[in-house]
A and B are shown apart, each in its own frame.
Chain A
């Protein structure tokens, strides 16, 4: 009796493991939910379809003809530690102010409508590395990695047309794109766009500077190194 039991047990265990597999095995089947109590509640969550609307979209599209007023969403709890007090809101705006459009009436304006501090430049550099460097390259020469994969006509910042371009027009290019570049207005908040503009200006200066632009104390170092 015992022998038969152990043989049957061993065979059924082998079968079971053969069917169920082991932990961590890769598979395409949706996970089994053993205790699904209240796991799926009939509420709308971010980027999750819902049965409530006919098109099953949880995130609603604005009704045609909606006029956006702009908004500032507060930073989520636990906001950036390093930037405490500086970036308290994620601002996407659609006013006609210079700070939101880069233009005064139908003229491009120039100047950064935020205090240009070391923090702003650092923020601009970080955002530039995330969103711009892929195409424009980390020095702004238009030699980012996307160019090697078939992205054509990436503008280098180091040409007179872009050196003399008003800040507002650069801001507008980030927001709405230009030629083959699509707009980044939906991804980069207004303040970050200005930070990037400031950083792009610094990049341009870095590749087009005279010795007289260098502060006197640093100039001595440069000349000593020559």
Chain B
């Protein structure tokens, strides 16, 4: 009876335990790494109906964000410009370029250009652009260096944890009102940013909501 199980069978329970432990760890790491907007959303760079380049318009030509996104300071929704905004220049400039085919078609038909939306908050989040850009939060904080993007991609995860990073410590991100739309402005150093941001927070009475009702209704 003494040799009913071979000798190696003594190690089987321990080995199985080790395998289970390794698999659990790998699974946990995998979920942590992949099940987050840092993986699912960041880098989303779809093709657009017209290859509009922010790098050309905003950086090279120096156009202000608000020429196209004209209601960002007064509305919760930052508008995608209508076709007439494009045509204000492109009725003359490069008017025959094939890159502008979608714009021209829209101008002639009166139907909107179907731009592909990149930054999407869930429908239970009520983000207000005006409340942010009028209080020293730059486009840069949420959209990244968009003035250098030839094709727009999502630069920030825009998850709730990410929102709270700023809502808990706005002084790390606040900038002078005059530089909100200047995406090339950056604080001289993190220390300078902190000193300036703390001052702005006090002066402008910045008190970002941390309660659920601040963003969810």
Contact = CB atoms under 8 A, between A and B. Distances in A.
A27 B44 contact: yes
Interface in B41-71: 41-47, 61-64, 66-67, 70-71
Contacts of A30: 44, 46
A30 B82 CA distance: 24
A45 interface: yes
Contacts of B43: 23-27
Contacts, number: 136
Interface in A143-198: 145-146, 149-152, 180-184, 186-188
Contact of A77 (B44, B45, B85, B130): B130
Interface in B73-93: 73-77, 79-80, 82, 84-85, 87-89, 91-93
B84 A186 contact: yes
A100 to B, nearest CB: 19
A76 B76 contact: yes
A34 interface: yes
Given A76-B128, A81-B135, A38 B73 contact: no
Interface stretch (A113-121, A127-135, A209-217): A127-135
Contact of A134 (B46, B61, B80, B128): B61
B40 A78 contact: no
A77 B40 contact: no
Interface size range on A against B = 35 or more
Nearest to B82: A186
B128 A78 contact: yes
Interface of A is mostly: loop
Contact of B93 (A41, A43, A73, A149): A149
Interface of B is mostly: loop
Contacts of A31: 37, 40-41, 44
A29 B41 CA distance: 10
A90 interface: yes
A43 B123 contact: yes
A142 B88 CA distance: 15
Interface of B: 15, 18-19, 22-23, 26, 30, 33-35, 37-47, 61-64, 66-67, 70-71, 73-77, 79-80, 82, 84-85, 87-89, 91-94, 112, 117, 122-124, 128, 130-132, 134-135, 153, 177, 204
Given A27-B45, A31-B40, A78-B131, 16 more contacts: A2-B15, A2-B18, A2-B19, A24-B39, A24-B42, A29-B44, A31-B37, A31-B41, A32-B40, A39-B122, A45-B123, A77-B76, A78-B130, A78-B135, A80-B134, A146-B61
Ranked 9 nearest A-B pairs via Cβ: A78-B131, A46-B77, A76-B130, A41-B123, A39-B122, A130-B64, A187-B70, A150-B93, A26-B43
